[in-house]
Structure 1
Amino acid sequence: MNTYLRYTIFLFFLSIVLVFSGHSSFLKAQTIQSPIYTELPLGSVKPKGWLLHQLQIMRDGTTGHLDEVYGKIKDDNGWLGGKGDGWEETPYWLDGAVPLAYLLNDPVLKNKVNRYIEWTLTHQRPSGYFGPITKAEREKGATITVDSCQLGEDWWPKMVMLKVLKQYYTATQDKRVIPFMSHFFNYQLQSLKKCPIGKWTDWSASRGIDNAMIAQWLYSITKEASLLELAALIESQSFEWNTWLTNRDWVIRAAAYQDNENWMSRHGVNVGMAIKSPAITYQRTGDKKYLSGLSTGFHDLMTLHGLPMGIFSADEDLHGNDPVQGTELCAIVESMFSLEEIIGITGDIHYMDALERMTFNALPTQTTDDYNAKQYFQIANQVQVKRGVFNFSLPFDREMNNVYGMRSGYTCCLANMHQGWTKFVAHMWYGTPDKGLAALEYGPNQIVAKVGKTQQEVTITETTTFPFEESIQFAFSTKKEVSFPLQLRIPSWCKEATILLNGQKLRTEKGGQVITIDHTWKDKDKLTLELPMQAQFSTWGRNTRALEYGPLVYALKLGERWEKESQKEEGDYFNVFPVGDWNYGIVAKTVAEPVQSVSIKKVKPVSDQFIWNLTNAPIEITVDAKKIPDWKIVNDVAPSPVTERSGIYKGKVENKTEKITLIPYGCTKVRIVAFPVVP
C-alpha cells in the first residue's frame, strides 16, 4: 500500500472519529446500559399464603369483573371496536388484570382480558397506528398514515396498552407482539415531527417516559437503533422531569403554591410516573448524572411532601408533608411501578426499601375488604371518612374524594388500582447478570426459574407471613445440584440479619445492603433469613412522630362505624366514623426510649385467608399516651397541634396517662399515625 493511500485512509478514519467525538450523545444512543437486575417473565413468581388470597379477592372483585359492573368499560368498548371507552380506563384495568390472570393462571380471566389484546393485535392499521377506531375513521372512512397522523387520537392511552402488551408477551411469548410494536414505533418516530407527543393532551407530554420505556425495552430484544432515537425524541417533547427532579426549584415551588400555574407538573400521578424518568434516561445514555438527579429528586420529594405510610401527598397535586393531606390511589400504584423499574436499572437498596414501605402501609388501606370500593384520597391522620371538602388541592364539588365507593371521586383509580398488588408480586424476584436470582421484596410466594451455567430449572418456595414476622424460609427443589448466586436484601430497618442453611448458622449481615450467597444448591436445601424487628419512632410533618416496627408503620386502633349512602352521579359509597377517642399525644419518654417503653404483642396468627382490616390485625403495640382536649376536627380534618422546637406540645394535656393500642397502618380505615409528643 503506497504512502498516499495510507494517508488518505488515515484521514478518512480520523474524520469519522472527529465527527463522532463531537456527538458523544449519538454514540451513547446506539447502545443501552444493562440493568443491574432483569425482570423475570410474568408468571415466574406465583403468590402463596396471604398474598395469594389478596389476589384471589381481586379476581373475585372488581379486578376480575370490572367489565361487567362498570358501564364505561362494559358498554360498547372502544378497545373491542365499539364506540365506548377508547381512552385510558380500559388499558388501565388491563394493566392490572392481565398480570393477575397469569399470576393466578386463571383460564376464565385470561380469556376475558385476551379479547382486548386480540382485538388490538389484529386491528393494527397498515401504517402501524393502533388503538380504537377513531372518529375520522368511523365517520369519514379516513386512513391514518404518517402524513395524516392528525386523524389519529391521543398517544397517552396507547402508552398504557403498550405496557399491557409487554406483560402479555413475557407471559406468553406470542410472536405477534414484537413486530406489532416495531411497526407502531416506526410509525410513531415518523409521525412525532408532525404530531408531537403533546398534540392532543398534556397527559401524554407529562407521561411520555412510559412510552420511551417500552421503546427501550423493545430495543433490548430487536436492537433496532431507531428505537433509541424514538425514545430520545419522545423525551425531548415531554415534560422536563429529569431537569425538574435535579434542580430542586420544582419541588420547592410545589410545596409553596397550590395555584393553577403549571399544575400538571406537580400532579401527583404524573409525579409517580415521572420518578423513573432519570433511570430510564440513564439506561439509554449511560450518563450517571441522571442517577444523581434521581437520588436528589426522590429525596426532596419525600422530604417536602412525604407522609409516614411511605408515599407523598397527592390530592391531586403535591401538597406538603402535613399529616392531614391526602394521597390519590393512582399515585401509589404508579409510584410502586416506577420503583420496580428503578430497582431493576439501578440495583439501589434505597428504592427497594421505599417500595416495601409503600406497599405494606399505603396500599392496603385504600380499598375495601372485597376490593369493590376504593378511596380516591386517603389521609395519614384520618379521623373520619365522609363527604366533604377537607384540605385537598382538588376538593371536587360533589365532595366525594374521601369516601369509599366504586365510582367515588374520579374513576381513573377504579381502573388503575389493580396494578399495585399484581406488579409487586411479579417483581419480588429479579434475575442477575451472573445467571442467579435476587429476592428483593419478601412475602409468601414460589418462583420457578432457570439458573446457573447449565440453565437448570429450580423451584424456590418462600414461606413466611412477612411483613408480620421476622423469619423467611426458602425451600429449594431441583432435580440435581446446581450452582448459582442468590442475592438477598437486608432491609435498612434491620440492624443485623442472620442467615441459616439447613438449620446451621451461615453468616450474619448488617442491614441496608444486598448480600450474595454463592452456593451449590441441593434438592430440599432450606435457607432461612431472620430479620429482627425493633420499635422506633420517626419524625414527620408538624413535628409529629410515627411508630415503626420492622417494615410496618403503626396507627391508633379505633373502632369503625360504617354508614352506606348513595349519591346520584357516583352511586353507593361508605362513610366510616371512629368509635373511641383519637386525640392522643404519645408521652415523650416513650418516644425517647421506644424499645424499653412499648409493649409488642402478637394477638392472632396470619392465616392464608388474611385480609388487611381491623379484625385481622395480627400485632398490637401499646404505648403511653395522654389526651389533648383542644385537638379537634376543623373543616373535616384534625390539624396537628402546634409544638415547640423540641417537638413537645405545650398546650393543655390531661394529667392521666393511658395505654393506647396501635396496629399496622394498612389494617386501619380511621386512625392517627403521626402523633404529637406530650410531656
Structure 2
Amino acid sequence: MKRLSACIIYIVLSLPVCLAQTTYTAPVYQELPLGAIKPEGWLRNQLLIMRKGTSGHLDEIYAKVKDDNGWLGGKGDGWEETPYWLDGALPLAYLLDDKTLQEKVLRYVHWTLAHQRPSGYFGPITKAEREQQQTIDPAHANAGEDWWPKMVMLKVLQQYYSATGDTYVIRFMSNYFRYQLAALKTAPLGKWTQWAEARGPENMLTVLWLYNITHDAFLLDLAAHLETQSFPWSSWMGNRDWVISTTTFRDNNLWMNRHAVNVAMGIKAPAVNYQRTGDTNYLRSLRTGWHDLMTVHGLPMGIFSGDEDLNGNLPTQGVELCAVVEAMFSLENIIATTGAVPYMDALERIAFNALPTQTTDDYNAKQYFQVANQVQISRGVFEFSLPFNREMCNVLGMRSGYTCCLANMHQGWTKFAQHLWYASPEGGLAALAYGPCSLHVKAGKDSTPVTIHETTSYPFEDVIHFSLAASKTVSFPLQLRIPAWCKEAVILLNSQPLQRAAGGQLVTLDRSWKNGDKLALQLPMEITTSTWGRNSRAVERGPLVYALRLQEKWGKEHDAVEGDYFSVYPEGAWNYALQKAGVDKPGEQLHFSVVKPVDDSFVWNLAHAPVKITAPAKQLPDWKVANGVAYQPVTDREGIYKGKVDSAVHEITLVPYGCTKVRVVAFPVVR
C-alpha cells in the first residue's frame, strides 16, 4: 500500500460542511494536523526528555511491548498496553520530527493496516484464527476478541492520518466500522469485558471523526448503536444520582461506573452525543456532570480523586495517572465540540499542576496514585479505595502499581501540545491553551501560508507574545482565550493598546494581518485562595496552584516483582497552617516573586522552580503522619482549626505544585 512521507501538513482552515440530512452538529473547532504545531522552549524540552526516556524506548525495555508483540503478529500483548504506548509515542515522534521514533511506531501501524481481515475486522491474530483457522466476519464475530483495545488503536490510526494524510486509513476505518455495525448484533460491546462498555465514547469519537470526513450515513447509525451498548454516561452526568451513588459504598457492586479512568473517558460522552445529535440537553448534562464531579470529588490540582474509585474531596485521597491523562484528552475533545472556556481553564489546571508531579524528571518512573497533601512517598496502603496488598501504588517506579499507566502516561504532554491551537470557521485560528510553540498553517479565504511564533514562559509569567509571518497580508479571525481567573486582559498590537477584555471569554480579532505583526496578550495574575475538603485552603496564582516547598530525601529500593522504585520523604517541618489574615487578604499578606527565568532546560522539579509565594503560617504540633497519611485536621464552620497551635509565626515558601513530590497544598487555617 502507498505511504506518504512524514512531513508537516498545511491545510486550509475551514470547517467541513455536513452533506447528510441529519442532526449531526460539527464541532465548533477542528483539530490541526499533527505536526502543524511545534512545541518550543520548556515544552519542547519536556518532549525531548520523554523521547530519551520511556516514551521513546518502551518497546526496548518493557516485555509486554517488546516480546513477540500481538500488534506485530506475535503471540504476546494484544490488549491495551501497546496501543496505549503508541497513542503517546506516535504524536511524540511527529511533534519532534524524530525519524527514528517514527520508524519504531510505524512498524505497529503498518502491520495493523496491512493485516485487516477481508470482513473489516482488525487487530492481533486471535486464538480462534491461530488454532482453528477461523475466519472472522459478522456471522462469526464471537471468534474475535475484545473491542476495547481496538478503540485505542483507532485513536493511534487517526493521529497517523493526521500526520501523514495516508488515505488508506479512511478505507481501513470505513471497512472496520461496517464490520462493527453488523457484528455488534451478535458480539455486543460487553461480550468480552466491561471495559469496552465503560469506554464506548472512545469508539464513538473516532466514528464521528470519520463521519466528519466521509459523511457516510451508516456511521451515525453505528454511533447511535454504540451509545445503546455503552455505559449511559450522558444520562448519569445529567441526573446527579450517579455522582451521589459514588459517595456511598466501596465494594464490587457497580465499581466500573466509579472507576476513575472510566470516568475520565466518560466525561466526554455528553459532548460526543451532542455532536452526534445536535441535542443541547447533552451540553446541559455535561455542565451538570462536570460541576458535580468536581464539587464532590475535586482536588486542588484540578483533577478528581480516583484511587482507583472516585473517593471524595479530602486532600489525602489519590488519583491514578491514567485518569489524569485521559481527563485531559476528554477535555481537549470537549473544547473542540463546545468551544466553552471553563473546559479550557480546566485543561490547563490539570496540565500545569496534576500532570508533571506524577513522573520522575527523566520520565522513567511514575506514581500509580499521587496524593494532594503528600507528605511522604512510600510503600503502604494509605487511604486508597483500592489499597493493594503489594503496597506499591504510591511509590515512583517503572512497574509499580498497574502498568497501564506506564504505557498510557505518554499522551498527556504530547496531546496537550497538539491542542494549544485549533482551526476555527472562515479560515480562522484559535489559541485556546497557552505554551511556547510555533504554528505552521494556511489561513484565510485565500489559504495563505502563515507562521505564528508563540513565545512565553506561561504559566509562570503572565504575558504571551505572538509573532506572525506571512508572504502577504492575510485576513482571518484570531481567537484568544481569556481565562476566568483573569479579571481583565490587555491585548497589544505592535506595542500599541488594541483591546481590553474581562476573563472567562474568547476574544475574536478579525482583521487583516501583515507580515511581522506582533501581538501581546497580558493576563495579569493575582494571588487568590480556594476552599477544598475539610475547609482546607489552597493558594493559587493564574493557572498554577502552589504547595509548601519541602526539601526532598530520595531513596532507591527494589521489589522482587515490580522492580526498582523510589521513596521520597520530606526534610524539615511540614505541619503548617495558613493564618486567616493571609487567606482573607492574600494580595496583601502573601507575596509573589520570581526566583529565576524559565529557559529551554526547565524541568518540573524544585531545583528549577522559577517562582515562589511566601506566606505567614503557624505549626500544628498535633498534625502528624499516621500510617503514612497526613489526615486533614478538623475545623469548625468558619474553617478555623481549634486544636493546639504554636504561637510562633513562620514565613513559609510555596512553589508550583507541579514542581513538588512531597508537599502540603490544602492547608488548615488558624487565627
Unaligned runs of 5+ in 1: 1-26
The aligned counterpart of 1:370 is 362
Unaligned runs of 5+ in 2: 1-18
Aligned-partner SS, 1:615: helix
Separation of aligned partners in 1, 2:224 and 2:123: 23
Separation of aligned partners in 1, 2:458 and 2:28: 25
Is 1:138 matched with 2:130? yes
Is 1:112 matched with 2:114? no
Q: Alignment partner for residue 316 of structure 1, among 286, 308, 320?
A: 308
Is 1:281 matched with 2:273? yes
Amino acid corresponding to residue 546 of structure 2 in structure 1: Y
Separation of aligned partners in 1, 2:656 and 2:594: 12
Q: Alignment partner for residue 38 of structure 1, among 24, 30, 39?
A: 30
Q: Alignment partner for residue 498 of structure 2, among 487, 503, 506?
A: 506
Separation of aligned partners in 1, 2:538 and 2:202: 34
Is 1:259 matched with 2:254? no
Separation of aligned partners in 1, 2:276 and 2:622: 55
The aligned counterpart of 1:19 is none
The aligned counterpart of 1:9 is none
Separation of aligned partners in 2, 1:222 and 1:603: 53
Separation of aligned partners in 2, 1:438 and 1:83: 45
The aligned counterpart of 1:13 is none
The aligned counterpart of 1:3 is none
Separation of aligned partners in 1, 2:476 and 2:212: 24
Q: What are the within-5 Å matches in structure 2 for residues 146-545 of structure 1?
A: 146-545=138-537
Aligned-partner SS, 1:178: helix
Separation of aligned partners in 1, 2:479 and 2:151: 33
Partners of 2:26 and 2:212 within 8 A in 1? no
Cα deviations by residue, 1:437-483 (Å, 9 ceiling, x for unpaired): 00000010000111111011100000001000011000000001101
Cα deviations by residue, 1:92-129 (Å, 9 ceiling, x for unpaired): 00000011011111100000000000000000001100
The aligned counterpart of 1:638 is 630
Aligned-partner SS, 2:547: strand
Runs of 4+ in 1 over 6 A off after TM superposition: none
Q: What are the within-5 Å matches in structure 2 for residues 607-646 of structure 1?
A: 607-646=599-638
Q: After TM superposition, give the deviation of residue 569 of structure 1 in Å.
A: 0.8
Is 1:594 matched with 2:586? yes
Cα deviations by residue, 1:582-635 (Å, 9 ceiling, x for unpaired): 000000000011000011111111110100001000011110000000001122
Separation of aligned partners in 2, 1:32 and 1:446: 33
The aligned counterpart of 2:9 is none
Amino acid corresponding to residue 286 of structure 1 in structure 2: G
Separation of aligned partners in 2, 1:360 and 1:434: 31
Cα deviations by residue, 1:355-410 (Å, 9 ceiling, x for unpaired): 01010000000000000000000000000000000000111111000000000000
The aligned counterpart of 1:98 is 90
Partners of 1:28 and 1:285 within 8 A in 2? no
Q: After TM superposition, give the deviation of residue 521 of structure 1 in Å.
A: 0.7
The aligned counterpart of 2:53 is 61
Q: After TM superposition, give the deviation of residue 183 of structure 1 in Å.
A: 0.4
Partners of 2:491 and 2:500 within 8 A in 1? yes
Q: After TM superposition, give the deviation of residue 182 of structure 1 in Å.
A: 0.4
Partners of 2:20 and 2:215 within 8 A in 1? no
Amino acid corresponding to residue 116 of structure 1 in structure 2: Y
Separation of aligned partners in 1, 2:120 and 2:186: 16
Separation of aligned partners in 1, 2:502 and 2:396: 42
Cα deviations by residue, 1:26-63 (Å, 9 ceiling, x for unpaired): x9983420211111111110000000000000000000
Q: After TM superposition, give the deviation of residue 257 of structure 1 in Å.
A: 2.1
Cα deviations by residue, 1:423-449 (Å, 9 ceiling, x for unpaired): 000000001112100000001000011
Partners of 1:29 and 1:229 within 8 A in 2? no
Partners of 2:20 and 2:217 within 8 A in 1? no
Q: After TM superposition, give the deviation of residue 507 of structure 1 in Å.
A: 1.2
Amino acid corresponding to residue 320 of structure 1 in structure 2: G
Partners of 1:28 and 1:284 within 8 A in 2? no
Cα deviations by residue, 1:243-265 (Å, 9 ceiling, x for unpaired): 11111111111122212210000
Separation of aligned partners in 2, 1:330 and 1:366: 10
The aligned counterpart of 2:65 is 73
Cα deviations by residue, 1:139-158 (Å, 9 ceiling, x for unpaired): 11111111111000000000
Separation of aligned partners in 1, 2:291 and 2:151: 28
- Of the two, which has the highest radius of gyration? 1
Aligned-partner SS, 2:653: strand
Separation of aligned partners in 2, 1:585 and 1:518: 49
Separation of aligned partners in 1, 2:649 and 2:208: 59
TM-score (norm. length: structure 1): 0.96
Partners of 1:268 and 1:316 within 8 A in 2? yes
Partners of 1:29 and 1:285 within 8 A in 2? no
Partners of 1:376 and 1:401 within 8 A in 2? yes
Aligned-partner SS, 1:148: helix
Aligned-partner SS, 2:138: coil
Greater shift in the superposed pair: 658-667 or 247-256: 247-256
Is 1:658 matched with 2:656? no
TM-score (norm. length: structure 2): 0.97
Amino acid corresponding to residue 396 of structure 1 in structure 2: F
The share of aligned pairs that are identical, in percent, is 65
Q: Give the direction of change, closer, same or farther, for the CA distance of 1:622–1:427 in structure 2 (3 Å limit).
A: same
Q: Give the direction of change, closer, same or farther, for the CA distance of 1:151–1:548 in structure 2 (3 Å limit).
A: same
Partners of 1:29 and 1:228 within 8 A in 2? no
Partners of 2:459 and 2:544 within 8 A in 1? yes
Aligned-partner SS, 2:651: strand
What RMSD in Å do the two structures reach over aligned CA positions?
A: 0.9
Separation of aligned partners in 2, 1:566 and 1:218: 47
Is 1:647 matched with 2:639? yes
Amino acid corresponding to residue 64 of structure 1 in structure 2: G
Partners of 1:73 and 1:89 within 8 A in 2? yes
Amino acid corresponding to residue 308 of structure 2 in structure 1: E
Aligned-partner SS, 2:154: helix
Partners of 1:482 and 1:521 within 8 A in 2? yes
Partners of 2:551 and 2:571 within 8 A in 1? yes
Q: Alignment partner for residue 668 of structure 2, among 663, 671, 676?
A: 676
Separation of aligned partners in 1, 2:248 and 2:542: 33
Separation of aligned partners in 1, 2:54 and 2:321: 15
Partners of 1:632 and 1:638 within 8 A in 2? yes
